[in-house]
Amino acid sequence: MCPVCREALNLTERTWHCNNNHSYDVAKQGYVNLHVVQHKHSKNPGDTPESVQARRAFLSGGFYAPLQQAVVNKIRDLRIENLLDIGCGEGYYTDAMQQEVMQCVGVDIAKNAVQVAAKINKNVTWVVGTGATLPVMDQSIDLCTSLFSPIPQEEILRVLKSEGYLMVVTPAPNHLYAMREALFDEVNAHDPHKFVEQLQKYFTLLEQPIVESTFELEQAQLKNLIAMTPYAYKAKAEKRQALEQLEKINLTASFQVYLFQKN
């Protein structure tokens, strides 16, 4: 969908264009930038290049593979045709999800993340864009996914087909507890249930499994994990340095998965 006039975009060779002659070229890396200047609040919104590279390096180690597999299995069960991944980042989950659907769009506000994603899978339509204006037409999507990303409720309701699905993945209360204990004087449990309260008016909660993954990290991967989380800039520098000096650590990642259906 054109972010300026909200008309349908069609692809001709390497340019997306609408009937009002707004056009957007596909970059050589294979993504399109639909984050128009009037929607921007900063020059380079979203994740930093350092955070993107750290996440790419960490996730490629397979530590979160149980979550990736659980998400893929559910998409297979639902027999989804059109999927929109909101906050796709560098594409680790989107890449796996695309294998199960006919059409997959990955959108993220961070251009540097989408540039990395576009190199992994040419069958995804990769978009730099904002959740405030999701880049697809009304009622065109069977499943929206938001893994550790914002949930623009009104836009999700607009783009989902009637009885379409929304999958939200967020940290469960004890996610990476040992790491947070090392970084903070006081550890506050994550509160995944707030998303249920936010969405219950327009969605029915169908399933709420927790997926866990336990692993041992060596120093380099521990540094990547810290760098890719919000804990990196919330922790005191001396606590982060002390943690990063550990040669090994055992951690348990705990993910709350919610599957909703549009009422």
Span of 44-53, 89-98, 133-142, 229-238 with lowest mean pLDDT: 44-53
Residue 47: what pLDDT? 80
Q: Look up the pTM and report it.
A: 0.95
Q: Tell me the C-alpha to C-alpha distance, in Å, between residue 260 and each of 52, 61, 151, 199.
A: 28, 30, 12, 9
Nearest Cα to Cα of residue 131 among 158, 99, 104, 112: 158
Give the pLDDT confidence of 89-123 residue by residue, as tens digits.
Answer: 999 999 999 999 999 999 999 999 999 999 999 99
Task: Could you list the residues known to form a binding site for Zn(2+), using ranges.
Answer: 2, 5, 18, 22
Task: Could you list the residues known to form a binding site, using ranges.
Answer: 2, 5, 18, 22, 64, 90-91, 175
Residue 45: is its pLDDT beyond 90? no
Residue 35: what pLDDT? 94
Q: What is the DSSP letter of 193?
A: H
Give me the chain's average pLDDT, please: 94
Span of 13-27, 29-43, 60-74, 154-168 with lowest mean pLDDT: 29-43
Domains of the chain: residue spans and CATH: 30-262 (3.40.50.150)
The pair of three-digit structure tokens given for residue 39, joined into one six-digit string: 């929607």
Residue 176: what pLDDT? 97
Spatial separation of the C-alpha atoms in residues 148 and 145, rounded to whole Å? 10
- Classified as helix, coil or strand, 146 is strand
Spatial separation of the C-alpha atoms in residues 234 and 164, rounded to whole Å? 36
Structure-token match 């060779």, residue found: 13
CB count in 10 Å sphere of residue 26: 17
Task: Could you list the residues known to form a binding site for S-adenosyl-L-methionine, using ranges.
Answer: 64, 90-91, 175
The pair of three-digit structure tokens given for residue 257, joined into one six-digit string: 């998965």
